[in-house]
Structure 1
Amino acid sequence: MQRSTTLRALTLAGLLAPAALIPAHAIAANADVSAGDWLLRGGLTHIAPKSDNGDLMNGTHSVDVGSSTRPSGNITYMMTDNLGLELLVAIPFKHDLSLSGADIGSTRHLPPTLSLQYHFNTGTGVRPYVGAGINYTYFFDEDTSDVLDADIDLDDSWGAAVQAGIDFAVDENWFVNAEVRWIDIDTDVSLGGDHLGTVNIDPWTFGMNVGYRF
């Protein structure tokens, strides 16, 4: 399936919409973070793999990885007033797999990601941040459809991750959050033990969270 830039922009706009509904007077006058703060967020993340995921079987068949939305969370520890270390966690995401348009099964994965963030303290209740780090994607529970006569297997992946996000403070402790990430996820695919090729998932992820600072 094709996932256009327009669709991704609309998805992010939808995630940001709840934050726009917060009345201006409800935004804390100053909600800057400080060294020693913990920021705990929980919500939903939508993973949208890029539209061209590569070719298998010596380039004869194109592979497509479907999108997925699941509950997720992250926790950030502020090492200084601006630098934070974040760990992203989630319940397993499930992606449908197709080969040249035919359903070949599905896989689940866990994408723990560790990132170093820079938070822009603005003196207001709006706190943007950017980050970069490393992702480990663990694939498991591959389910093969009747189209294939053997089990499919996806190798785990290590790759870079970058992000941008924004926290909207509701009071001194509570806030809502919207974020977007790009993650480098490449996995080698095997069928019945025979290597078929590499799948380039490289998704954009979009998250909407409720957060608490303590």
Structure 2
Amino acid sequence: MAVSAPALAQSADRAGDIQIKAFATAVLPDGAIDEVEFDDFGLPANSQSDANDNITPTLAIEYFVTNNISIETIAGVTQHDVDGVGGLAGLELVSDAQIIPATVTAKYHFDLAEGFTPYIGAGPSYFIIFNDDAGAGVTPLGITDVDLSNELGVALQAGAVFDIGDSGIGLSVDAKRYFIGTTATFSANGTDLFATDHDLDPWVISAGLSFRF
């Protein structure tokens, strides 16, 4: 114990460090319609929607304020289609919408064992959505444009870093659950036809390499 204690204390000396993580990230959104705000189009009964999953590269940058508290932000873009289900089954509603999930979390790291550092975190997120085109399933119906609103939400986070030796390199796994939605407004040549509120609420699961210096 006398020999291992200094090594463990040394491994926890992270104050002032910067950690960069390169991830492969699975983005698993919901996309369900929560509410129809207005409908001048005549949506079928039981209209519902679902967003597809995506895997994308992401980068996380983290600064350790103390040995156990850090601030982290992520960078990445994810792309999704929204398809109809229920009364809208078989229709692609939104094509290739791209999302920048601008997120900042405050994290607490637990020193449970040398070389293994789990953490939890939480913070705000602002989803910036662009290139949100009307899907191929609704353009024949006269819909020419769809707009997905940018929205503010929150993210909860948990994960761990497994150090590889003393080089600062490690294996990192991370899971976030976002609580955020968007309003989709469908229009024809500038005239709004209907608008629907959607629960995005994605799970974002990441794995990759970390480097702390």
What TM-score bracket applies, with the shorter chain setting the length? 0.7 to 0.9
Query: How big is the shift at 1:32?
Result: 2.5
Matched, 1:80 2:66: yes
1:8-87 maps to which residues of 2 (within 5 A)? 30=8, 31-50=11-30, 52-54=32-34, 56=36, 60=45, 61-87=47-73
Instruction: Specify which of 98, 119, 124 is matched with residue 134 of structure 1.
Output: 124
Using the size of structure 1 for normalisation, the TM-score is: 0.80
Task: Give the AA of the match of 2:62.
Answer: T
Q: Does 1:209 align with 2:208?
A: yes
- The structure carrying a bigger strand percent of its residues is 2
Secondary structure, aligned partner of 1:35:
coil
Deviation at 1:33, TM superposition (A): 4.5
State how 1:117-156 maps to structure 2 within 5 Å: 117-148=107-138, 149=142, 150-156=144-150
Matched AA of 1:133: G
Structure 1 position 189 matched with structure 2 position 184: yes
**What is the count of residue pairs matched by the alignment?**
185
Structure 1 residue ranges without an equivalent (≥5): 1-28
TM-score (norm 2): 0.81
Q: Could you say what secondary structure the match of 2:112 adopts?
A: coil
Cα deviation digits, residues 23-62 of structure 1 (max 9, x gap)? xxxxxx7432421011110111111113745354668410
Deviation, structure 1 residue 212:
0.3
The equivalent residue for 1:180 is 175
Q: Paired residue for 1:169?
A: 163
Counterpart-to-counterpart distance in 2, 1:50 and 1:33: 40
SS at match of 1:128: strand
C-alpha separation in 2, matches of 1:146 and 1:132? 37
The amino acid of 1:197's aligned partner reads T
Measure the CA separation in 2 of the matches of 1:66 and 1:159. 20
**Structure 1 pair 82–126 and aligned structure 2 pair: CA distance change class (3 A):** same
Task: State the 4+ residue runs in structure 1 displaced beyond 4 angstroms.
Answer: 55-59
CA apart distance, 1:181: 0.6
Partner SS state of residue 82, structure 2: strand
Is the 2:33–2:196 contact (alpha carbons within 8 Å) kept by the matching residues of 1?
Answer: no
* 1:148-205 C-alpha deviation (Å, 9 max, x unpaired): 2220110001001100000000022100101111001210110113441201110111
Cα distance in structure 1, aligned partners of 2:120 and 2:153: 18
Matches of 2:136 and 2:29 in 1, distance apart? 24
Aligned to 1:93: 78
Say if 2:31 and 2:199, in contact at 8 Å, map to a contact too: no
SS at match of 1:152: strand
Residue 20 of structure 1 aligns with which residue? none
CA distance in 1, matches of 2:193, 2:29: 25
One of 77, 94, 98 as aligned partner of 1:105: 94
| % identical aligned pairs | 25
* Contact 2:147–2:186 (Cα < 8 Å) also in 1: yes
1:196 counterpart letter in structure 2: A
**SS of residue in 1 equivalent to 2:131:** strand
Distance in 2, matches of 1:117 and 1:111, equals: 18
Larger radius of gyration: 2
Deviation at 1:63, TM superposition (A): 1.4
